Amino acid sequence: MNVLVLGGTLFLGRHLVRELLERGHRVSIFTRGRTVASEAPVTRYTGDRDGDLHAVPRDGWDAVIDTSAHWPSWVAASCAHLARAKRYLYVSSISVYDSRGPEIGDGRCAFTEMPANAREGDMDAYGAYKLRSEDVVRAVFGPERTIVLRPGLIVGPHDPTDRFTYWVERGSAGGDILAPGAPEDDVQFVDARDVARFAVRLLEDERTGTYDVTGRPRTTTIGDVLRACTSGAEAEVVWVDGEWLEARGFEGWQDMPLWIAPSLELHGFMNVRIDRALEDGLTLRPLTETVEATRTWLREEPIDRDRVAGISRERETDLLRLYRP
């Protein structure tokens, strides 16, 4: 296949490019040229999705993979420009769902609503705009040429969000580790390499439709993650009550990765059904493989890189002192 990736140099897109190349496909990428990944043998087109697509050829694409758009106007522009492509795969998100239900995905729940006065660029309306973006793709490419993936939390090497990496890094360092909630609490996420492999497989198998893509529901706990992340380290994990954390201002997700404050009642985020994806070829690697690959990648990263999720060691020490004086 001759594939154009709109994106391709940060995280999921990077794994997609690698997977496509390994499977023998021809790959082009379109970015602003700011984020530079490895020297993969790809054709590079430069421009901005916000109004400047002219560098990209309109014809000749067996598939377009769109990883870099949250906003319907961007998707509308790229769909119009590339309307003659054979297929368009849009990477959406499980944030399109209203996650307050006990379980989401595979048509089991309502969608999130567009907040009043929202504007493109407003991350509070991310899920609602992703949903509208999906509709734009379907309107242009029709059901027979559209694939929509709705990933849950994506993790693994090159993750710029630290929302899983935090635990890998913290676990490896050892010592007394503050862990949120209870070890038996369910968590759900997916290795970026599994999403990439599945996306390429869907294109190769000429499938279409909408897929929720994350780990198997109710099979992995936060205790499993901490166990995998502390393996080989001298560590004591201290489980800290969720309500206690909430009373100290924690909401989860960003300030305490893989955990969501109980009062937010976003249970659906950690219980997504993925039956359709499993039926059509999604395969999921073991947790230990994801932890190991993330650890290996981290060793090559600068030690003083900016951490964008989790808490500092100082804050952790202070909290533990308060929790068990």
Ligand X SMILES: NC(=O)c1ccc[n+]([C@@H]2O[C@H](COP(=O)([O-])OP(=O)(O)OC[C@H]3O[C@@H](n4cnc5c(N)ncnc54)[C@H](OP(=O)(O)O)[C@@H]3O)[C@@H](O)[C@H]2O)c1
Q: Which spans of this chain sit near ligand X (rule: CB under 6 A)?
A: 7-14, 31-35, 48-50, 67-68, 70, 91, 93, 151, 153-154, 161
Chain-centroid distance of CA 246 in Å reads 25
Strands 209-213 and 175-180, by their bridges, are unpaired
The residue (of 49 and 170) whose beta carbon lies closer to ligand X is 49
* 257 vs 309: CA distance, rounded Å: 7
Nearer to ligand X, 2 or 254 (CB): 254
Reference 258, options 317, 192, 309; nearest CA is 309
Q: Which residue is nearest to ligand X (CB)?
A: 13
Q: Cα–Cα distance between 233 and 235 in angstroms, integer?
A: 6
Residue number, 105 or 151, with CB nearest to ligand X? 151
Q: Which is nearer to ligand X, 12 or 235 (CB)?
A: 12
Distance in Å, CB of 194 to ligand X, minimum: 13
Q: How far is the CB of 163 from ligand X (least distance, A)?
A: 7
In angstroms, what is the minimal distance from the CB of 37 to ligand X?
7
Nearest CB to ligand X, comparing residues 171 and 257: 257
Q: How far is the CB of 318 from ligand X (least distance, A)?
A: 29
> Which DSSP symbol is given to 186?
B
CB of 91 to ligand X, least distance (A): 4
**E strand or H helix that includes residue 238:** strand 235-240
Q: What angle do CA 177, 180, 181 make, to 5 degrees?
A: 135
Which lies closer to ligand X via its Cβ, residue 93 or residue 271? Answer: 93
C-beta closer to ligand X: residue 11 or 141? 11
Q: Which one-letter DSSP state was computed for residue 284?
A: -
Give the nearest distance from C-beta 32 to ligand X in angstroms.
3
Give dist(CA 219, CA 246) in Å, integer. Answer: 25
Residue 48 or 243: the one with the smaller Cβ distance to ligand X is 48
- 307 contact partners, CB below 8 Å, separation of at least 6: 162, 166
Residue 164 and residue 166: Cα distance in Å, rounded?
5
CB 43 within 8 A of CB 31: no
Those residues whose C-beta lies under 8 Å from the C-beta of residue 219, and which sit 6 or more positions away, are none
| Burial call 121-149: b when 16+ CB within 10 Å, e when fewer | eeeebbbbbbbbbbebbbebbeeebbbbb
Q: How far is the CB of 259 from ligand X (least distance, A)?
A: 15
Q: How far is the CB of 151 from ligand X (least distance, A)?
A: 4
